[in-house]
Structure 1
């Protein structure tokens, strides 16, 4: 085989172009987010625009006054009330990043809005940071070995590990901040007395979506870090990814505890009684880009790749759920015709952050009718 100068040059140039296309861009703080032409990545611009138009045309049907939307959405819960801050929302908004570069956006991406259960993946990450830094030796440790104030007292609760709380299969029993675990998302049918007096499931065997137990995780992490969870997130992650100063993380009005003689607010992992994370589309996109790049921002490893892999590993009771990340595996929540490597955070009202590792893409879409997200993604992936 004869190797010529031109053939070597062709190989070099081709390798350089491939390498350049695999490089990630990390926007600096407060700078204009760089865009890139869709033709640089062989993206079908018409199909991309079709997905954007779909997101804009399918706004969440609930009230823009989120206090009204929350009370309506959870009216079947006994004793349900608003216990934390709420905020009227904006219209549909979103961003799509390719290798960190912006290839599409719609709506007001700087507007700060509630994110509801998207908050959970931020809380999960605070747990991951605790494991990375050795504050928690292993997520398979029993939480009662770290939190000794009675929160995990009793034959059932003492079995619960950090992993059980992260996977929402702990079946923790009790009351926190005035809300009993059985009053959060009870069955739609049957007698409430039968539900609250039922036999508890062995931790790790049955997943049940329950914000009281998520808030128990937030409270437990506050005890471990010995400082407010929003401060932990800011210092250990958000400042390092050059997030804005506009995001806030709230707790319920009476969710105060004392640590080292100081009064501290314990935050929530969602917003269905108010509170949770209030954040802009752009700051969520930065968080997603960090995960797309295996926990590394520029040259700094902020959260370990090992933790991320464990966080997106299916739990035994639910193949579509890891450490508070939803997983697009074949199961009840599978999006057909979309990669099974995709994982995402999802919140009330149609808040989504989606990480597509196959295509090096991060998608943030807000106030999309929740039932339409699968169709949105099936439309979008055709662009790549």
Structure 2
């Protein structure tokens, strides 16, 4: 299907490209909004392509545009992929209880003091951990009072020290804590997370090898006698996941297919359901995915929809009731809701024919 309505939706995205420059030496990235000394890159980055995307329904491609095979940085969409890896760990018995304190299985990496000993895996997955410390040179304070477009507006100035709450009682979008979660997963698996992601998710999906997930320049640790990179759950301070829209749509399809690929259960349906279960104190958020309950995040999309979202305008939209998956890269976030509405209208009109 390449209806005139769908083409209009795609053209709308092209006409509303992110305001970020295409090269990194301009207005580009999240770090530029941080107060010093945290307003700098700690890992490698690269320039971006044009607005690009893929739309599928019932697993069949309806439309692709831009440069869908280009591996571009996807920023915080990588958080959702960390949640998938936590699901792999759960099914392997490495993480049997998400409500267990993290230090029980991975002692000695920053979860052992009185405050952090109460942090559980579910807290990290829901961004309610209130973990306190320094991860690869970055303190959790760097993201205190951080405002994100679709979250709760905090009552404070970005980077100011905020009084900590009891773990599990306060929601905050905090990339340092996400990086600490990634480090914990690395120690849990005892292997580099990109290796595990390739073996357990990407290759079973039939994804390309044209992606990479890298850490900060100083994010090297020894695990199992190997010196390995700990990767971040985004590209706030550099590094992160570079991946194409065509590969991301395969990951989106995994959600729609309840964890199955060609009849093989790659990830359990139960875990995928947990990922989109609302957090009690932040019902717009699940396990590192954005939920659309009451159509709060995107009024033009159904309430059943959920999303992986990255800075700069990287969106993965999963709509289970319509069997619809959409990946769009470098779309100005201010126009994302309108774009989703146009795609939905095009699909509705096609269905009614």
Taking structure 1 as the reference length, the TM-score comes to 0.85
1:104-159 CA-to-partner distances (Å, cap 9, x unmatched) read: 11101101100000111111100011001111111111101011114112221110
| Residue equivalent to 2:186 | 222
Matched, 1:161 2:149: no
1:282-315 CA-to-partner distances (Å, cap 9, x unmatched) read: 0001111111111101111000000000000110
Aligned-pair Cα RMSD in Å: 1.7
1:248-300 CA-to-partner distances (Å, cap 9, x unmatched) read: 00110010111121111100001011111100110001111111111101111
| Counterpart Cα distance in 2 of 1:170 and 1:152 | 11
Deviation (angstroms), 1:334 = 2.6
CA contact (8 A) 2:300 2:338 kept: no
| Residue equivalent to 1:139 | 98
| Counterpart Cα distance in 2 of 1:54 and 1:191 | 34
Matched, 1:371 2:329: no
Q: CA 1:46/1:187 → structure 2, altered by over 3 Å: closer, same or farther? A: closer
| Counterpart Cα distance in 2 of 1:192 and 1:52 | 35
| Counterpart Cα distance in 2 of 1:251 and 1:279 | 15
Aligned length: 339
| Residue equivalent to 1:32 | none
| Counterpart Cα distance in 2 of 1:258 and 1:73 | 27
| Counterpart Cα distance in 1 of 2:117 and 2:141 | 18
CA contact (8 A) 1:78 1:183 kept: no
Matched, 1:239 2:197: no
| Counterpart Cα distance in 2 of 1:363 and 1:73 | 27
Q: Which of 264, 275, 284 is equivalent to 2:239? A: 275
| Counterpart Cα distance in 1 of 2:124 and 2:270 | 19
| Residue equivalent to 1:10 | none
| Residue equivalent to 1:20 | none
| Residue equivalent to 2:33 | 75
| Residue equivalent to 2:6 | 48
Matched, 1:291 2:291: no
Gaps of 5+ in 1: 1-36, 39-44
CA contact (8 A) 2:307 2:316 kept: yes
| Counterpart Cα distance in 1 of 2:327 and 2:7 | 15
Q: Which of 114, 118, 137 is equivalent to 1:178? A: 137
1:67-103 CA-to-partner distances (Å, cap 9, x unmatched) read: 5334576333331210111010000000100111111
Gaps of 5+ in 2: 148-154, 349-353
Q: CA 1:185/1:227 → structure 2, altered by over 3 Å: closer, same or farther? A: same
CA contact (8 A) 1:169 1:205 kept: yes
Q: CA 1:191/1:231 → structure 2, altered by over 3 Å: closer, same or farther? A: closer
| Counterpart Cα distance in 2 of 1:46 and 1:187 | 40
CA contact (8 A) 1:142 1:158 kept: yes
CA contact (8 A) 2:146 2:174 kept: no
CA contact (8 A) 1:70 1:273 kept: no
Taking structure 2 as the reference length, the TM-score comes to 0.92
Equivalence map 1:195-206=2 (5 Å): 195-196=160-161, 198-206=162-170
CA contact (8 A) 1:140 1:161 kept: yes
CA contact (8 A) 1:98 1:362 kept: yes
Q: Larger Cα Rg: Structure 1 or Structure 2? A: 1
| Residue equivalent to 2:272 | 308
Deviation (angstroms), 1:47 = 2.0
Bigger shift: residues 164-173 or 77-86: 77-86
Deviation (angstroms), 1:61 = 0.9
CA contact (8 A) 1:204 1:316 kept: no
CA contact (8 A) 2:31 2:41 kept: no
